[in-house]
Amino acid sequence: MSPQDSFSTAAAVETQQPAAGPAAEAWLAAEQIERQYDAPSANDAPPTRALASTSLRVEAGEFVCIVGPSGCGKTTLLRILGGLLRPTRGQVIFKGKLLTGPQPEIGYVFQHANLMPWRTVLRNVALPLELQHRPAQEIQARAQAVLKLVGLQGFEHSYPRQLSGGMAQRAALARTLVHAPELLLLDEPFGALDAITRERMNLELLGIRAAYACTAIMVTHSISEAVFLADRVLVMSQRPGRIVAQIAVPLPSPRTLDLMGAPEFASLTREVRRVIDRQHV
Amino acid sequence: MPKMTADAPLSGAKASTRRLKLEWLLAPLMLALAILLWDALVRWQQYPPFILPAPALVARKFAAVVRDGSLWYHTQLTLLEIFAGMALGLSCALVMGYFLAKSRRLERLLSPYLVAAQAVPIIALAPLLVIWIRSPGLSKVLIVALTIFFAALINTIVGIRSVQPDLVSLMHSLQASRWQILTKLEIPAAMPVLLGGLKIGVTLAVIGAVVAEFVGADRGLGYLINLARGILDTPLLFVALATLIIIAVLLYAVVSLLEHKLLAWQRIQ
Ligand SMILES: Nc1ncnc2c1ncn2[C@@H]1O[C@H](COP(=O)(O)OP(=O)(O)OP(=O)(O)O)[C@@H](O)[C@H]1O
Ligand SMILES: [Mg+2]
């Protein structure tokens, strides 16, 4: 990512007024955002269109999952929603303001754990608070509490390379939760895990989201994971990606793993799959 | 062999410390062997001392120059030049390397000149510097600084570029300031490469100081070597060489220790 592609951190002040319209009332709204990546300057290849004109609206408290084929622009979309990447066209409105850069209320969990290998688990989780110059005692207490929540107590002083993949992802989740974001953006956080660990992490994620009362947008490859977690599943087309369908998931909460055996769960996953398959013909 | 399973990791650790101790013994043993061979060679060939002095003769000379203070007199200045030159060279390389790592344009603009400057042997440049710069102390410090500059610069660039882009994104998402990104991400991430460069740098700095003193000096270990050669006092030359080697080994050991302390996380399997 070249520097001019990303927002500068200093420019995170919102001065511009968003265009008036119905979208301005949504909690989070993306309006016809597009993104293309320029080819490396050396060759004359055309730029990659990663995201075609995409609009979406998310209300506070929702859990939205995004599914789509690999390379269709899911990470690109999520990075734009998190203020980490500038759309080449269109705009994102977050809580009535134009999104111009990373926000303290938005927490981002990367596709891989992305921990600092030279910091212990505790110090990795403490990083966001450390950057805010919180008092040491508060940092310690809050980091410990959130590590307990994700089930990593006893591993405070381990280094990332001593953790399993699932534990590393939990530590990454804890690091994002420690500053209590209102909006949680998750980019295939459990993509590298085995099915059993993944189901357990999904349950934990639902519990955590209930505890923090945050809104979540999660990218995933797994249709059943999407249906299990989400209130709404958005399906993206192949690259250049755009949202081609949304499927409401009116399953009761709190959800348990038993739900996966229920007939309505099966019919919902079938519906999502049908929408995806329609894209591939 | 009771408690086999519980003991397994522990005995593994013990074995590795034993291996470490053996390695520590190996280097002095090799040295002793080399000295013995050297002594045997001198006895067998009956070399006159100005061609190859016996180890005992060198040792006696060493003791003599330590006692009359002349060794320390020269070593002091060489050490000073090494430290001042490293401080100057490293700080310039770190600052410049940081900006070169950040800006491809700046790198494209400057790298031909940097490479060209590196291609000029320092030994050819040193006499010029001595002529241009009036202060003899400053010219030597500058020569040492120039000797280590390029290696330090390249390592800084490689180190800063080795930072994972997603960790930079993470820092942005947490709204870290530029200073926080530097101190909490870029410096720790670059540390392994930087320390690797420093290891090369300290040995280069010793060479740089000797080169500087060869060109024009009335004090220092380089000067002592020149002097000893002039009066055919080969034992003295050996003493000066040995002192330089000791300085280089000690400096290297200090950096290794620093590495051991700062990069403890890298040793975890
Ligand atoms: N920094 C970049 N520079 C150039 N092209 C990029 C960059 N990031 C992504 N792309 C391209 O944009 C397209 C979409 O990438 P993106 O990472 O958003 O896909 P994705 O849906 O997250 O894929 P996956 O499911 O495999 O993670 C891909 O074709 C990719 O090659
Ligand atoms: Mg992705």
Residue pLDDT, tens place only, A129-179 = 999 999 999 999 999 998 988 888 899 999 999 998 889 998 999 999 998
Task: Provide CB contacts within 8 A for B91, sequence distance 6+.
Answer: none
Q: What ipTM does this complex have?
A: 0.84
- Contact by Cβ (8 Å): A116, A108: no
Whether A167 and A189 share a structural domain: no
- The pLDDT assigned to A281 comes to 57
- The pLDDT assigned to B17 comes to 62
* Total count of domains within chain A: 2
* Residues of chain B scoring pLDDT < 50: 1-12
Residue-wise pLDDT for B85-105, tens only, equals 999 999 999 999 999 999 889
- The pLDDT assigned to A140 comes to 93
- The pLDDT assigned to A21 comes to 53
Going by C-alpha positions, the residue among A230, A226, A227, A114 that lies closest to residue A174 is A114
- The pLDDT assigned to A11 comes to 39
Sign of torsion over alpha carbons A53, A57, A61, A67 = negative
Whether A174 and A212 share a structural domain: no
Whether A279 and A206 share a structural domain: yes
Which of B175, B266, B269 is opposite residue A9, by nearest beta carbon? B175
Whether A128 and A245 share a structural domain: no
The token pair at A131 is 């950057």
- Dist. CA A236 → ligand 2 center (Å): 12
**Which H or E run includes B99?**
helix B70-102
Whether A95 and A189 share a structural domain: yes
Q: How far is A23 from chain B (nearest CA, A)?
A: 24
Whether A94 and A84 share a structural domain: yes
- Among A180, A214, A242, where does a domain finish? A180
Mutate to test the pocket of ligand 1, among A6, A75, A234, A244 (most ligand atoms within 8 A of CB): A75
- The pLDDT assigned to B19 comes to 65
Q: Which residues in chain A touch residue B184, judged by CB atoms under 8 angstroms apart?
A: 127, 130-131
- Dist. CA A240 → ligand 2 center (Å): 13
Q: Which residues in chain B touch residue A104, judged by CB atoms under 8 angstroms apart?
A: 175
**Dist CA A184 CA A65 (whole Å):** 12
* Stretch among A46-60, A74-88, B247-261 having the lowest mean pLDDT: A46-60
Whether A201 and A89 share a structural domain: yes
- The four Cα atoms B118, B124, B130, B136 give a dihedral, to 10 degrees, of 70
Residue-wise pLDDT for A251-277, tens only, equals 887 888 888 888 989 999 999 999 888
Task: Provide CB contacts within 8 A for A138, sequence distance 6+.
Answer: A129
Q: Provide the CATH number for the domain around residue A238.
A: 3.40.50.300
The nearest alpha carbon in chain B to A7 belongs to: B172
Whether A96 and A214 share a structural domain: yes
User: What b-and-e string marks burial along A190-211, b requiring 16 or more CB atoms within 10 Å of the CB?
Assistant: bbebeeebbbebbbebbebbee
The domain spans of chain B are 1-46, 53-267
Expressed in angstroms, the distance from the first to the final Cα of chain B is 27
Q: How far is A239 from chain B (nearest CA, A)?
A: 22
CB < 8 Å from B in window 118-157 of A: 118-119, 127-128, 130-131
Please spell the DSSP secondary structure of B171-217, one letter per residue: HHHTT--HHHIIIIIIHHHHHHHHHHHHHHHHHHHHHHHHHHHHHS-
- Among A147, A180, A213, where does a domain finish? A180
The nearest alpha carbon in chain A to B266 belongs to: A118
- The pLDDT assigned to A8 comes to 43
Look up the CATH architecture of domain B53-267: Orthogonal Bundle (1.10)
For residue A159, give its domain range: 106-180
- Among A127, A147, A180, where does a domain finish? A180
- Dist. CA B87 → ligand 2 center (Å): 45
Is A21 near ligand 1, meaning CB less than 6 Å away? no
pLDDT higher than 50, residue A29: yes
Which of A6, A110, A161 is opposite residue B170, by nearest beta carbon? A110
Whether A272 and A209 share a structural domain: yes
Please name which ligand lies nearest the alpha carbon of A37.
1
Whether A190 and A173 share a structural domain: no
**Is B265 in the A-facing interface, judged by CB distances under 8 Å?**
yes
- The pLDDT assigned to B5 comes to 39
* Stretch among A3-7, A44-48, B67-71 having the lowest mean pLDDT: A3-7
